[in-house]
């Protein structure tokens, strides 16, 4: 009797588990590598998500949810973010559209300093990765424009 109850308890817990999977491709049908796939409208306070592999494949384990009605958000650099409602647990093929934002051109100009300029007191500013990360500017280009002698 105890073995039967244990078997039924294990069987019931397995029905609460579902796996959601699919492939993320670009409009040409090529896989999108490193796209983030996050489960939306979840009842748990933690984020459930994954990243696509080299072939654009992804898989998320869902506990206590119906995998056929799940909504996932797919994001990747250079593509528009997309919310996708799955129609089936596996074999979901999602095509991401390219993002139409065009980045501004950056021109780097180097000038050789004369001997007189080298001897005089000059102010030199630099920007490293930490300065970019801690910058209050909206974008990298806004922060770059705040440096002395930089014209954008």
Q: Which fold has domain 2-95?
A: Immunoglobulin-like (2.60.40)
Q: What is the pTM of this model?
A: 0.55
For the chain, the domains span 2-95, 103-152
Burial class (CB in 10 A: 0-12, 13-18, 19+), 44: exposed
The structure tokens listed for 129 are 């990765």
For every one of its 152 residues, what pLDDT tens digit does the chain have, with 9 covering 90 and above? Answer: 677 777 766 666 555 567 888 999 999 999 999 999 988 866 666 678 899 999 999 998 876 656 667 788 999 988 988 888 877 777 888 899 988 776 777 777 777 767 776 666 666 677 777 877 787 777 777 877 887 777 76
Rounded to a whole number, what is the largest CA-CA distance in the chain? Answer: 96
Residue with tokens 């459930």: 48
């Amino acid at each position: 009797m105890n073995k039967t109850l244990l078997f039924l308890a294990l069987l019931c817990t397995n029905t609460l588990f579902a796996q959601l999977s699919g492939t993320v491709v670009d409009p040409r049908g090529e896989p999108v590598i490193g796209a983030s796939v996050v489960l939306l409208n979840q009842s748990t306070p933690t984020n459930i998500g994954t990243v696509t592999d080299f072939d654009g494949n992804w898989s998320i384990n869902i506990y206590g949810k119906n995998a056929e009605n799940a909504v996932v958000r797919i994001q990747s650099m250079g593509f528009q973010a997309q919310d996708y409602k799955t129609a089936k647990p596996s074999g979901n093929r999602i095509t991401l559209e390219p993002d139409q934002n065009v980045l501004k051109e950056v021109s780097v100009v180097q000038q050789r300093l004369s001997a007189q300029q080298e001897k005089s007191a000059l102010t030199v500013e630099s920007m490293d990765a930490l300065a970019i990360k801690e910058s209050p500017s909206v974008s990298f280009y806004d922060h770059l424009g705040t440096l002395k002698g930089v014209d954008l």
